[in-house]
Chain A
């Protein structure tokens, strides 16, 4: 079992098997998303309160969930890289950052579109979830800015890992403090999650999209990490051999 883990951590091995897993995640993911989007747009019943506007949750909720999961992955991968000195873990963290940032942005954009009919404005400061997402986006920017500011890759990896770990604790605290703040200022949260009381016709496409987007994220992460690994290992022997190998191999 450990042997498999050790093998996985080896960059050439990862480079070879990543595309396979990436495809394994991508196809079901796209299928689920296709179902989720179709069912969400056309089959799910209209919300009695919000009309058709609520349908954006099929993009918004998965994006928001992934933005947070991506940060966790970034932090955990950074931690593994820092403690066990696994180069691959650092490559995963570096790849997760821009993906997570994009999902955060997507969550904010879709949230804003959702809120417009309800709030009457494109941005409602008092909505705690949107505020937490916005601050999360700043965390991502800080992480990527720190990475970009350090030239030496190994040093950048370690510094950003420390930052991500510090950020993980703070992200949770930010979430609660923003909720408290919003309750003080009577924020209008129209994004009350309906939870289990949701009509199954609404719920299943949502779940499908959540899973589908997660699989898509996993696939994208593997692809990005693969490229990141190739770039980091560009001067090693295995990359040179691979590039110089005659056509038809790998």
Chain B
């Protein structure tokens, strides 16, 4: 055995390997990426249909509707974060790997954000314009969505890890994640509203950034603990 003088691999090796694999998987199944986006667009269509398409209603409710739709779309995509790995046994292999589990989980979450959060951010201007959102407000929307979806991916990974393998885990996942995501929703949507009303909105941006950084440092540990517990 040639393990004398062999170095342990760097810490990020696992993160990168898992992230690349997940991105490759998403590439092979573009539907998984597109479905939440269609869902997002459809939910945004529901509101004018249900409540009325008057211009003032649209501009007034735009930030909120877009944010809620983004949150729900993220929720849908979070369902499948760990399920396929749990079912085919690759999750157990990761638990037994020398790579630190928090970083591995972070790698999966990063790949998940790149295939769900980021596309949402990129698609949001199109929908925002239909809500008569002016350009500078759209920028704020994209900024809050970027920061917010990062937090949502991270928080969602905790919920997904806790509910993976459970019967009816889907509904339970929503029940767990929605209360956790309320601060992000509140701050994100209302910051965009403030921007739309030409008021100062920087406080919200700072808060969202702090929240994103906070969840980035803490969520991976909770996710790793939850993954171990779920695999017992």
Per DSSP, are chain B's interface residues mostly helix, strand or loop, or mixed? helix
Q: Is there a chain B Cβ closer than 8 Å to A18's Cβ? A: no
Give chain B interface residues in 55-95, CB to chain A under 8 Å.
none
The docked-state distance in angstroms from the alpha carbon of A152 to that of B230 is: 11
A181 to B222, CA, bound (A): 28
Q: Main SS of the interface on chain A?
A: helix
Establish whether residues A159 and B179, one from each chain, have CB atoms under 8 Å apart when the complex forms. no
Given known pairs A146-B162, A166-B222, the reply for A180 and B187 (CB within 8 Å) is yes
Among B30-38, B102-110, B137-145, B169-177, the one that faces the other chain is B169-177
Note all chain B residues with C-beta closer than 8 A to A177: 182-183, 186-187, 207
Q: Say yes or no for A197: interface residue by CB 8 A criterion.
A: no
| Distance in Å: Cβ of A185 to nearest Cβ of chain B | 8
Of A142, A155, A170, A181, which is in contact with the most chain B CB atoms at under 10 Å from its CB? A142
Q: CA of A158 to CA of B227 in the docked complex: distance in angstroms?
A: 11
Q: Using known A-B contacts A146-B162, A177-B186, A184-B190, determine if residue A158 contacts B179 with beta carbons closer than 8 Å.
A: no
Q: What separation, in Å, do the CA atoms of A165 and B179 have in the docked complex?
A: 14
Which residues in window 169-204 of A have CB below 8 A to B? 169-170, 173-174, 176-178, 180-181, 184
B190 touches A163 (CB 8 A): no
User: A158 — which chain B residues lie within 8 A by C-beta?
Assistant: 229
The stretch of A35-43, A113-121, A133-141 that contacts the partner chain:
A133-141
> When the two chains form their complex, are residues B178 and A138 in contact, meaning their CB atoms are under 8 A apart?
yes
CB closest residue in chain B, given A140: B179
Q: Given the complex, which residues of A lie within 8 Å of B169, measured CB to CB?
A: 149
On chain A, the residues within 8 Å of B229 by CB distance are: 155, 158-159, 162
A243 part of interface (Cβ distance < 8 Å): no
Say yes or no: B179 contacts A135, CB within 8 Å.
Answer: yes
Contacts of A165 in B (CB 8 A): 222
Bound form: Cα–Cα A156–B180 in Å: 20
Do A162 and B180 touch (CB < 8 A)?
no
A167 within 8 A of B: yes
Q: Please tell me if the beta carbons of A174 and B168 are within 8 angstroms of each other in the complex.
A: no
Q: Are B182 and A174 in contact (CB under 8 A)?
A: yes
- Judged by a CB distance under 8 angstroms, whether B166 is at the interface is yes
Query: Size band of the B side of the interface?
Result: 20 to 34
**Cβ of B229 to closest chain A Cβ, rounded Å:** 5
B226 at interface (Cβ–Cβ under 8 A)?
Answer: yes
Q: Does A145 contact B (CB under 8 A)?
A: yes
Contact B162 A163 (CB under 8 A): yes
Q: Of the candidates B168, B190, B222, which one forms a contact with A162 in the assembled complex, judged by CB atoms under 8 Å apart? A: B222
In the complex, what's the smallest C-beta–C-beta distance from B75 to chain A, in angstroms? 13
Complex contact A149–B230 (CB within 8 A):
no
A156, closest chain B residue (CB)? B229
The answer to whether the Cβ of A150 comes within 8 Å of any Cβ in the partner chain is yes
Query: Is the CB of B136 closer than 8 A to any CB of chain A?
Result: no
Nearest CB on B from A46, distance (A): 37
B153 at the interface (CB under 8 A from A): no
B162 & A159 in contact (Cβ 8 Å cutoff): yes
Name the A residues within 8 Å of B226 (CB-CB): 159, 162
CA distance in complex: A139, B175 (Å): 8
**Roughly how many angstroms separate A173 CA and B182 CA in the complex, as a whole number?**
9
Select from chain A the residue with minimum beta-carbon distance to B179: A138
Instruction: Say yes or no: A173-B183 contact (C-beta < 8 A), given A149-B163, A162-B162.
Output: yes
Closest to B181 in A: A170
CA distance A169 to B183 in the complex (A): 12
Q: Which of A139, A149, A166 contacts B172 (CB 8 A)?
A: A149
B26 within 8 A of A: no
Q: Do the beta carbons of A142 and B176 come within 8 Å of each other?
A: yes
Q: Which of A135, A146, A174 contacts B163 (CB 8 A)?
A: A146
Query: Is there an interface contact between B158 and A142, defined as CB atoms closer than 8 Å?
Result: no
Contact between A145 and B182, CB atoms less than 8 A apart: no
Q: Contacts of A138 on B, CB cut-off 8 Å?
A: 175, 178-179
Alpha-carbon distance A156/B179, docked complex (angstroms): 20
A-B contact pairs, 11 of them (CB 8 A): A135-B182, A141-B175, A150-B166, A154-B232, A155-B230, A159-B230, A166-B155, A174-B179, A177-B183, A178-B186, A184-B193
10 more A-B contacts (CB under 8 A) besides A152-B232, A162-B158, A170-B179? A145-B175, A145-B176, A149-B172, A155-B230, A163-B162, A166-B180, A174-B179, A177-B183, A180-B186, A184-B193
* 10 tightest Cβ-Cβ pairs between the two chains A and B: A177-B183, A138-B179, A158-B229, A142-B176, A177-B186, A181-B186, A173-B183, A142-B175, A139-B179, A149-B166
